[in-house]
Structure 1
Amino acid sequence: LACGSPFGALCPELFLNTLSRGVVSNLAGEGNALVLTDARCLPGTQGGAALLAAPGGPRLVAVIAAPLCWKGAEWIGLALLCSLAAILRCSAAVLGEAGLSLPPVPAWVAGTGGGRDALRCAALVECGTTWGSGVLLAPRMLLTCRHVVAGGGTPRVTPAPGPGRDGAALGAHVVFATDESSPFDVAVVELEENVPGFLPPCLAATFVPGEEVSVVSFGALGRACGPSVTAGTLSAVVAAEGHPVMLQTTCAVHGGSSGGPLISSRSGCLLGIVASNTRDTSVGATYPHLNFCIPITVLQPLVVRYRHTRDPAAFAGLNHAACGVQAAWRLQQHPAPPSKL
């Protein structure tokens, strides 16, 4: 829970000590001194409090250091916090010289908002000078987006850190990628060796609009700090011919998030893979909190067939989607003028 006063002295009777809720997206530095959160912190909230729910009431655990608002025309919607424990440790000598006693150092969180199991199925996918995210479905198999590996070169896959994993990049090659005309932006990547400590993710069979979800990805920060977690709501399940073909969420999705897993916060099951956020071409603005994912129910039967036959043609049906599916992913109903999104 972040507490701050956006816009400083501008209308304090409205903005003073306003609250925003988010999750711990990432941790970095000695003793997890730096904390990334997706709580909505605006300019003017610097120096505000970050609180953690506790049985005795909210507990102060960090201080808002910097809201990350805009990068170019893309709204970031994340914030950097500084751990209160780190601040007190670093200022102990100064406080002692001033004759001030050091207050109790608060305990800090040990992990990110999506849970460790959710992180284990995520991977960084690098291809040439670009990067994206991916989902590990088997010890040597990963799903990502076509546009992540379309730049040429040999992909390198770095699984998220975990027990028995040293963070080394693994060689890989693309065995299938959808055509550019396909509504489904998908690529299948085979790794040259098994991922250490691989655990298969639980795959969802149904989707509940309104449920809490998380995206695990290497968006925004890339390799620098490992995968980050952003939380939100499954805002819509779009169906065509009676089957889900698109999931919309309010999680913050940035460049580099494509291909990352969408996870149910309640069950921990894999719901789908991130395909894109939203860009308004008429004004050139990008909206990370409106984004689209490919349901795992579209991909799972094809994955099973491929693992049984080892024939990449198992995925060929993704290139021949029905008109209703194509219209949904073009963000327009047919017939209609072209969407500006």
Structure 2
Amino acid sequence: MGRQWGPSMRAAEQAGCVVSASRAGQPEAGSWSCSGVILSRSPGLVLCHGGIFTPFLRAGSGSLTATGAASLSGDSCGDDLRLHVQWGPTAASPAGRAEQGRPGLCTPQCSGLDPGLAARPRGRPLQPPRTAELLLLLSCPTFRTHFERLFGGEVAEQWRFASAAPEDEVSEDEEEDQLRALGWFALLRVQPGQEAEEEVGPMVTVAPFEVVPKGAQLLACGSPFGAFCPDIFLNTLSRGVLSNAAGPLLLTDARCLPGTEGGGVFAARPTGSLVALVAAPLCWKAREWVGLTLLCAAAPLLRVAREALSHLQPEAAALADLLPPEVGAPRGLSLQDPGPPWAAAAVLVECGTVWGSGVAVAPRLVVTCRHVAPREAARVLVHSATPKSVAIWGQVVFATQETSPYDIAVVSLEEDLDGVPMPVPAEHFHEVDTMLLTLVC
């Protein structure tokens, strides 16, 4: 992943964990699990996804949206809730110290799963699960507002934000619970183990989402399938970019899977800083998986946590000072900026019920794919982000044959796309050059 990712990979793996929830004395009821981020080692503070707590809410999942509150106290869940947190070896643990000085990074390997593998060297042992208590359920109101605006109403019927494929049997009540909890997270306090941790203070630093520009590289660290087989799945790394944003609701193409909800997403700069947490690892539209992941910015979540902790009993209120600090002033590049010129040249092309992307190559000329705008199309609607919300009609003036290896169409517009920078086709490819390189077919 390049040298620049070394510190961020170490920070992500050291901060990653998996959280399990179950009912006391009811093993037949099963368990729920998700990913989490270790905010502090001493005392142990963990931030994870709130979806696993919906079965334990005294007032049901409706309490997450009924009052409009940004936080709920730990006693909003039943007394039968039991929580456990597990993570990999730390630098302070005997296993972690044994690993120091070894080249490279690796997540814990499977050990003991197959007797035939007994001759192999054992992977780094995991820390034993620690019991934990729920301090707060919290959410970012602005995230929920943007989510409702973008995906609420009738549009929500076309999209599926759940940890199951459309073919899986998920009841309407379960899916409603998942939607209500999508923007909720949980702050936990982990009980100390038999051996005291050497690290003190915050484990990570937090980058305000305003300073992370669109297109910035991100590193997601989560545990696919939650607590299932952490020997191999714990702290799985996936790299992507910040694809887009609406306030604290962020979008990335980093590949995530069910169980990574609550996992941390880190930036290369500021080094190893926490940018966001995974809110929804999968989204489906028209029974087709869209390989994008919804994130909730970490900074506003921690601001809510600080405010909520200050109103609790003195012991809990003191924990607010131990939450990770924010690094970097919210200046410079903003997520609301139009971004680099190549981003502004991209347009949305609609042709009947089919839609896709295109590239403006002249004030009245857009190049897209034939399967998006076929030759026989009567009219095509083109949307531009710059200027905002501009929609211009056009018609297909050229399209390759279906038998052609090239999937290309050219749309002539009825009006100019004012203010859109036109890309220059590249003959020589150099990293970071702002040029039109290719089309996604």
TM-score by length of 2: 0.43
CA contact (8 A) 1:42 1:69 kept: no
Structure 1 gap ranges (5+): 208-263, 276-341
Change (3 A) 1:187 1:199: same
Cα distance in 2 between the residues matched to 1:272 and 1:17:
34
Q: CA deviation at 1:152?
A: 3.4
Q: CA deviation at 1:200?
A: 1.7
Cα distance in 2 between the residues matched to 1:71 and 1:169:
23
Structure 2 gap ranges (5+): 1-218
Q: Is 1:47 paired with 2:269?
A: no
Deviations 1:136-161 (CA, angstroms, capped at 9, x unpaired):
001111111222123734111112x2
Alignment partner of 1:152 out of 377, 387, 394: 377
Change (3 A) 1:170 1:177: same
Q: Is 1:86 paired with 2:300?
A: yes
SS of 1:147 mapped into structure 2: coil
CA contact (8 A) 1:128 1:153 kept: no
State the match for 1:177 in structure 2.
399
Q: Which amino acid aligns with 2:435?
A: C
Deviations 1:297-335 (CA, angstroms, capped at 9, x unpaired):
xxxxxxxxxxxxxxxxxxxxxxxxxxxxxxxxxxxxxxx
State the match for 1:27 in structure 2.
245
Cα distance in 2 between the residues matched to 1:89 and 1:118:
34
Identity percentage of aligned residues: 50
Higher percent of residues as strand: 1
Q: CA deviation at 1:65?
A: 1.5
State the match for 1:270 in structure 2.
436
State the match for 1:250 in structure 2.
none
Deviations 1:101-140 (CA, angstroms, capped at 9, x unpaired):
364445577349x952121111111122221111100111
State the match for 2:194 in structure 1.
none
Q: Which runs of 4+ in 1 moved over 4 A?
A: 69-75, 105-109
SS of 2:342 mapped into structure 1: helix
Q: Is 1:118 paired with 2:342?
A: yes
Q: Which amino acid aligns with 1:67?
A: P
Cα distance in 1 between the residues matched to 2:242 and 2:236:
19
Q: Is 1:4 paired with 2:222?
A: yes
Cα distance in 2 between the residues matched to 1:206 and 1:105:
41
State the match for 1:129 in structure 2.
353
Q: Write out aligned runs for 1:321-340 (5 A).
A: none
CA contact (8 A) 2:377 2:395 kept: no
State the match for 2:413 in structure 1.
191
State the match for 2:72 in structure 1.
none
Paired residue total: 211
Q: Write out aligned runs for 1:233-312 (5 A).
A: 266-275=432-441
Alignment partner of 1:13 out of 231, 241, 249: 231
CA contact (8 A) 1:175 1:188 kept: yes
Q: Which amino acid aligns with 1:15?
A: F
